[in-house]
Structure 1
Amino acid sequence: MILTVTLNPALDRTMTVPNFQAGFRHRATGTVILPGGKGINVARAAKALGRPVIATGFIGGRKGDQIVAELNDEGILCDFVRVAGESRISTAVVDSATNAVTEINEQGPEIQPDDLVRLHEKLEYLGKAADAVVFAGSIPPGLDDDCYAEMIQHVRRLGLKSFFYTYADPLRLGIKAHPDYVFPKLVEAERVIGYEFTGVEDRINAARTMREMGAGSVVITYRYGCVAVMAEGDGSRTFVGTIPPVDVVSSLGWGDALVGGFAVRLLEGGSHPECLRFGLGCGAANLIDYGAGVFSPADAERLAERVELEEVSTEA
């Protein structure tokens, strides 16, 4: 089973607005509302692929109730820690003419120290039935930047595989806790390393640096592709992956679908190249659907066969 941890879940409202411009009145041509937050999106992807999954994290208020109700409707098991305050709404406007996405995200509820203690207790309990834990997304107000690092260390003591991605200092500190797999976006990798990358070589070097910082394997994602430095025995293997051309409906959540596909294939016994190829196929399938973590498994398998995956070096 995969356990996903979303510290700051949201009701994700995605609106399609052709030729969107700030400062003007627009009429949406389509709207989708789904429970969201990156960990929940990964859970949705894993569920689509038939893998047992349960989602946890923090929820509060009426919006929290709605998140749980809609996850139940999707058939996604969940067991959240309830907190005072109100879970957030995240709004994304997708310009169907350009595929540009504008996001407006609320902060989320204030988390108290006792709430975090209860989440660690939840990890201890739910971890007994899990094979892997995915930690993903932003942290809400009230939590320290090292909260992910503490949770990664917790599940390592339980002997579980850990998958991790977030931003800024929580990402940097989490990497030092030795997660097995880290999936930073390009811009977040640049922030951790401290400079803007100019090409593939910089991206590969950044992934290697993050391994030196403590990560097991690192997959840096960017617009419809990735570089990956994967732990193999005492060394590593390096790959560059690119998805096939597709007619993009929305780019929201494509990286979450990638992580979900990668984790599912890994737990099925897949090799790192197989996991990368399938993860990219799931991400590509998400691009041609509407909703974060929403895709057809048949599309994912079909597109995975067309993924370009090149091994560029092998370290000793």
Structure 2
Amino acid sequence: MISTITLNPSIDQHIIVRNLVKDDANRAEAVFRYPGGKGINVSKVIRELGGHTRAYAIVGGFPGEFWKELVTKLDIPYFAASIQGDTRINTILTDLKDKSQTRISAPGPKVSENEIYRFLKNLLSVRPKPAFWALGGSLTPGMKRSTYRQFVLALQKGGVPCVLDTDDEALRLGVEASPFIIKPNEYEMERLMDRPLKSTGDYLKAARTLVDQGVRIVIVSLGKRGALFVTGKESFHVLTPKVAVKSKVGAGDSLLGGFLSGLYQKFSLKDAARLGVAASTSAVMREAPRLCLRSDIAGILRRVAIKDL
């Protein structure tokens, strides 16, 4: 079982228009609503690939009830801790004319220290314990930037390796807890290192610095250039096959979900990485809300190349 944690989940409303005209009424071609957040996205991918997962989240208000309803429709087991505030609603706008995609993310509800404490206490009492805890996404307004650090320290003390996928100060402080895996993208890695990173060598050096600080596996997602995987013993670059890109929403979450699925099945590091990149590639071939598609994987895997570094 791979369990995921989403501290700031959302209802993602994806609106598709044929030609967006500013300052005018625009009619939608289609509207999709689905449960959002990095943690739940990872669970979606694991479920699609045939794995076992359970999603944990903090939700509130009518949007929170709707989030639970949507997760139930996906046949993903979940535990949702109730809070007083309303779960956020994000908007994704796709313009078919210029193929642009604009994402507007709401900040989320205020969550009290007591609500956070109760949620963490619930996580620590979960039995049987999962093989991995995957934590990810933004924090809600008012949450301490050290919240992920607090969660990783407590959960790993309980014997379960943690995977952290977040940004900015939350990631910087989270790294101090030595999570088992982190997965920054190229821009998040630059912010974490607080310096520009240009070449593959720059990203490799930065990843090795993080491994030296206690992170067991560092994954740096590089968009169409693939992803770097770095541990204390090996490092390699997984190259992404060229495909027609329809949506980039959830590509990084698909990478992580595929990689964890491989690790859970006792794949080698390279084979798990190859599965992760295949899942990410499948995701960009699909319009949101679809992430990866299981039937794509075998064909994509044959085209995924690995270069040792």
TM-score greater than 0.5 by the shorter chain: yes
Q: What are the residue-to-residue correspondences of 1:251-290 with 2, within 5 Å? A: 251-290=248-287
Name the amino acid aligned to 2:284. L
Matched position secondary structure for 1:51:
coil
1:26 aligns with 2:45: no
CA spacing shift, 1:23–1:176, aligned 2, 3 Å: farther
User: Does the Cα contact within 8 Å between 1:34 and 1:291 map onto a contact in 2?
Assistant: no
* Larger mean Cα displacement after TM superposition, 124-133 or 270-279: 124-133
Q: Which residue of 1 aligns with 2:78?
A: 78
| 1:90-119 deviation digits (Å, cap 9, x = unpaired) | 111123455432111111110101111111
| 1:227-285 deviation digits (Å, cap 9, x = unpaired) | 42432xxx321111221111222110011011000001100001111111110100111
Q: Alignment RMSD, CA only? A: 1.7
CA spacing shift, 1:55–1:303, aligned 2, 3 Å: same
User: Does the Cα contact within 8 Å between 1:181 and 1:218 map onto a contact in 2?
Assistant: yes
Offset at residue 150 of structure 1 (A): 1.1
Offset at residue 200 of structure 1 (A): 1.1
User: Does the Cα contact within 8 Å between 1:60 and 1:84 map onto a contact in 2?
Assistant: yes
Q: Which residue of 2 aligns with 1:248?
A: 245
Structure 1 outlier segments of 4+, above 6 Å? none
Distance 1:300 1:146 in 2: 37
Q: Which residue of 2 aligns with 1:164?
A: 164
User: Does the Cα contact within 8 Å between 1:61 and 1:86 map onto a contact in 2?
Assistant: yes
Offset at residue 305 of structure 1 (A): 1.9
Offset at residue 16 of structure 1 (A): 2.5
Name the amino acid aligned to 1:288. M
User: Does the Cα contact within 8 Å between 1:48 and 1:297 map onto a contact in 2?
Assistant: yes
CA spacing shift, 1:250–1:192, aligned 2, 3 Å: same
Distance 1:94 1:191 in 2: 28
Q: Which residue of 2 aligns with 1:39?
A: 39
Q: Count how many residue pairs are aligned between Structure 1 and Structure 2.
A: 309
* Larger mean Cα displacement after TM superposition, 94-103 or 152-161: 94-103
Q: Which residue of 2 aligns with 1:123?
A: 123
Q: What residue ranges of structure 2 are gaps of 5+ in the alignment? A: none
Q: Which residue of 1 aligns with 2:292?
A: 295
* Larger mean Cα displacement after TM superposition, 139-148 or 26-35: 26-35
User: Does the Cα contact within 8 Å between 1:42 and 1:293 map onto a contact in 2?
Assistant: no
CA spacing shift, 1:149–1:293, aligned 2, 3 Å: farther
Offset at residue 82 of structure 1 (A): 0.7
Q: Which residue of 2 aligns with 1:208?
A: 208
Q: What are the residue-to-residue correspondences of 1:142-161 with 2, within 5 Å? A: 142-161=142-161
CA spacing shift, 1:110–1:75, aligned 2, 3 Å: same
Give the share of equivalent positions with the same residue, in percent: 27
Q: What residue ranges of structure 1 are gaps of 5+ in the alignment? A: none
Q: Which residue of 1 aligns with 2:101?
A: 101
